Structure 1
């Protein structure tokens, strides 16, 4: 069945020169679909009507099915009006913390004439930025970048005399580590992906992922299923310095535009060529008229964070801590999260904040599956009477008679995590059994009985997740098919117990 009306009426045709200059090659059927969608929008909209380029993007995203394109376009137009997106280019003001710590900007054009957005994600303090500008601030920044991209494509199309309808994204992952797996940050990324896919379809021409470290497959497992399959096909991945070899950046970006920190000669960002693109359109040029290199990112000072009440005003998933468990630990107490694993090759990830005092964190595995303690009767009575007794929530499931290396195994070495630190990590499982995430209060000196009762308790908020081996292996397969450089990563353990500060 055809997606569009099979017969072509002359009223549904456009000027040939206009098509070649602004839209690109279209069949008569595609041209007819475009005109029909345009007429529907013109009858519906009062005021500004989306450009033919925009209509064409929605049609392509729905394989030129006019009805489906009309439905998604209608939803997007309502969304744009609700969020006043048409005013964002003129009204948005880049927050100072973004100017100082957000490592992204528009950077020249690629060999196909597409504007390039450069993002040094590995140097980005995701948690610090979100806590400084909130979810709404992050979304406004993203919208501003997307609207800039649309305007840049229009400018380049007029300048080159041929259609440029997509942009390129160059993502440098050097510095990416487990702190980038902070769950509110992951959720923010998923919200952004959902927003872009719904309202800016068919704008991504190519995504170059470079200097991807071994932790990247974990991140890719978490987010790749939320990216449209057609969009995923546009991703190219490079581990280590493979981006400098044949088939790397030089195949897609002119040599003179490869940034100096990637081994290229380019030390400036902004103009693609003299008089090609207005400087004012580049986000690296701020409202005060100054030009800037893409910043290197770095940790956002906590003094710039929004207060709890300011974050609560936003609401939404970034301020909803319901996925996190909050616990307190006194002297001699232990808290354990038990993860029953019958799927060797699955990936266990954890994310926790130390809110008070210092704790010792480690990961264990039992030879046979175990269950949490559920004491009752006389034992429960004794615990209620003794303030120092360890209740079930604060007692290890590791029996005192068990031997390490025989009955249980330490799969991640103990690490001391200090007050105020945020820790993220992962472990690729290799056996069935129970994996145990364990926290203990850390004390640098022995305490007597009175001190043990009155000493401040440690407090942590934690979250953990087990990723299926099939999902993880599927992500590795997609990475390897995108670029063979990832084959070296597939056999490595993607684990870390190092705290991210």
Structure 2
């Protein structure tokens, strides 16, 4: 049995009745069996876990004024103009389709323009709007419409998209989606996945439930044929294998699907990125250095960093040890040449892909300053690649992962602040 209304086993039906009795103190007239079974399916019909999840959701809605968000909040202009994606059509069973050309998003530009919480709040606003659309479509079409199919197009997705603050926002949005809009996702198709996709997926996988992971399929070059098995041609833009085009003939239909693009500096606001929560603080004395040792055990791993200094600039470089013994910088392999950065003005961030295993050194250099010590705030992370068959779902008829070369993908080092 599917666990959906109209297709419940006797055991599931009994659990539904008991669940409704358990939560009757927080129930509302609009909460129907479809609503309650969503929370049950999200926790595999475990009554205790489902009840805890629903009660947490009700409290979350109250704390964040979600019931009135459509009236009280308007997404910032930069989010409306430059956040990628949009709703387009329905699949053959009626699920709404969301197309996300994620490779064209400039999350750094967005986060330099508005606060992180405004971006997350904009996504909550969007989900509430989608749920109203579910109700409207259900009434108009005389069938239950309450799920979505998401198409993630990763063409142009590269190293700069692994920028930690941007990934943190994405995982926060995923957490909201998983915890408060359960069973909304019917299926996710990932197309045009670049070679670094296993690393990106390994970073977000811990935030996905097992059920959500089972709904993700990685499609190969024949993805248009596979999408056609699930979606009629008139319900997809021509660019993704359908027949629909914008009024001006554009096959990507940017009038409905946000195309993204670089955010103009006119939108930038001061101090939007300066949130030092979770950063490590150290003091570097005058004429001194501070080195971080990061062991890399899997070739292809990515080291990410973000740092800020208080008041003055700092030298920064990345090296790889050539010996197990302690070495000076001149005796190590240079991965990123040492240079002075104005991290006191704008937080510095970047990443490097480690093509070889070993110990990598992040070196903060203050040897040029004989009069001033520096206060440094930093955070680092090593992202290891997942194997192609290690937890990454694939469509049965898909081919191997695309080997396309995307912008920034073949570069060993990408500093988003310079792109």
* TM-score after normalising by structure 2: 0.79
Q: Provide the residue aligned with 2:198 in structure 1.
A: 217
Contact 2:194 / 2:401 at 8 angstroms: preserved in 1?
no
Q: SS where residue 133 of structure 1 aligns?
A: coil
- Report the count of equivalent residues: 398
Instruction: Pick the aligned partner of 1:78 from 59, 65, 88.
Output: 59
Give how far 1:119 is off. 1.9
Give how far 1:488 is off. 5.3
Q: Provide the residue aligned with 1:467 in structure 2.
A: 383
Contact 1:217 / 1:476 at 8 angstroms: preserved in 2?
no
Q: Residues 418 and 323 (structure 1 numbering): CA distance in 2 closer, same or farther, change over 3 Å?
A: closer
Residue 41 (str. 1) matches residue 16 (str. 2): no
* Equivalent residue runs for 1:20-59 within 5 Å: 23-42=5-24, 44-45=25-26, 48-59=29-40
Q: SS where residue 171 of structure 1 aligns?
A: strand
Give how far 1:474 is off. 4.5
Q: Provide the residue aligned with 1:305 in structure 2.
A: 268
| CA–CA separation in structure 2 for the residues paired with 1:39 and 1:223 | 36
Instruction: Pick the aligned partner of 1:103 from 77, 84, 90.
Output: 84
Residue 267 (str. 1) matches residue 245 (str. 2): yes
Instruction: Pick the aligned partner of 1:120 from 85, 101, 104.
Output: 101
Q: SS where residue 112 of structure 2 aligns?
A: helix
Q: Provide the residue aligned with 2:390 in structure 1.
A: 477
Q: Provide the residue aligned with 2:183 in structure 1.
A: 202
Instruction: Pick the aligned partner of 1:250 from 228, 235, 245.
Output: 228
Q: Provide the residue aligned with 1:193 in structure 2.
A: 174
Give how far 1:32 is off. 3.2
Give how far 1:479 is off. 3.0
Task: Specify every segment of 5 or more residues in structure 1 that has no aligned partner in the other structure, as ranges.
Answer: 1-21, 270-283, 285-290, 313-317, 373-396, 403-407, 442-451
Q: Deviations over 1:119-152 (max 9, x none)?
A: 2221111122233231221221111222223223
Give how far 1:164 is off. 3.0
Give how far 1:234 is off. 0.7
Q: Deviations over 1:394-423 (max 9, x none)?
A: xxx236xx5xxxxx434x464979766955
Contact 1:242 / 1:485 at 8 angstroms: preserved in 2?
no
| CA–CA separation in structure 2 for the residues paired with 1:358 and 1:84 | 42
| CA–CA separation in structure 2 for the residues paired with 1:105 and 1:417 | 41
| CA–CA separation in structure 1 for the residues paired with 2:213 and 2:8 | 24
Q: Provide the residue aligned with 2:333 in structure 1.
A: 409
Give how far 1:206 is off. 0.5
| CA–CA separation in structure 1 for the residues paired with 2:180 and 2:262 | 31
Contact 2:86 / 2:100 at 8 angstroms: preserved in 1?
yes
Give how far 1:359 is off. 8.6
| CA–CA separation in structure 2 for the residues paired with 1:92 and 1:173 | 30
| CA–CA separation in structure 2 for the residues paired with 1:112 and 1:168 | 11
* Equivalent residue runs for 1:378-397 within 5 Å: 397=328
Give how far 1:364 is off. 3.1
Identify the range of structure 1 (453-462 vs 151-160) with the bigger mean alpha-carbon deviation: 453-462
Q: Residues 230 and 366 (structure 1 numbering): CA distance in 2 closer, same or farther, change over 3 Å?
A: same
Instruction: Pick the aligned partner of 2:321 from 366, 390, 393.
Output: 366
Give how far 1:227 is off. 0.8
Q: Residues 231 and 480 (structure 1 numbering): CA distance in 2 closer, same or farther, change over 3 Å?
A: closer
* TM-score after normalising by structure 1: 0.67
* Equivalent residue runs for 1:452-463 within 5 Å: 463=379
Q: SS where residue 350 of structure 1 aligns?
A: strand
Give how far 1:114 is off. 0.4
Give how far 1:300 is off. 2.2
RMSD of aligned C-alpha atoms?
3.9
Q: Residues 367 and 186 (structure 1 numbering): CA distance in 2 closer, same or farther, change over 3 Å?
A: same
Instruction: Pick the aligned partner of 2:299 from 340, 345, 356.
Output: 345
Q: Residues 487 and 81 (structure 1 numbering): CA distance in 2 closer, same or farther, change over 3 Å?
A: same
Q: Deviations over 1:345-369 (max 9, x none)?
A: 3724123468899998654322322
* Equivalent residue runs for 1:133-282 within 5 Å: 133-238=114-219, 241-244=221-224, 246-247=225-226, 249-262=227-240, 264-268=242-246
Q: SS where residue 479 of structure 1 aligns?
A: coil
Contact 2:192 / 2:402 at 8 angstroms: preserved in 1?
no
Q: SS where residue 86 of structure 2 aligns?
A: strand
| CA–CA separation in structure 1 for the residues paired with 2:237 and 2:314 | 42
Give how far 1:172 is off. 1.8
| CA–CA separation in structure 2 for the residues paired with 1:487 and 1:213 | 6
Q: Provide the residue aligned with 2:412 in structure 1.
A: 496
Q: Residues 321 and 63 (structure 1 numbering): CA distance in 2 closer, same or farther, change over 3 Å?
A: closer
Contact 2:164 / 2:304 at 8 angstroms: preserved in 1?
no
Q: Provide the residue aligned with 1:398 in structure 2.
A: 329
Task: Specify every segment of 5 or more residues in structure 2 that has no aligned partner in the other structure, as ranges.
Answer: 248-252
Q: SS where residue 192 of structure 2 aligns?
A: strand
Contact 2:216 / 2:394 at 8 angstroms: preserved in 1?
no
| CA–CA separation in structure 2 for the residues paired with 1:39 and 1:477 | 41
| CA–CA separation in structure 2 for the residues paired with 1:359 and 1:198 | 41
Residue 319 (str. 1) matches residue 275 (str. 2): yes
**Greater fraction helix:** 1
| CA–CA separation in structure 2 for the residues paired with 1:329 and 1:104 | 47
Give the number of the structure whose alpha-carbon radius of gyration is greater. 1
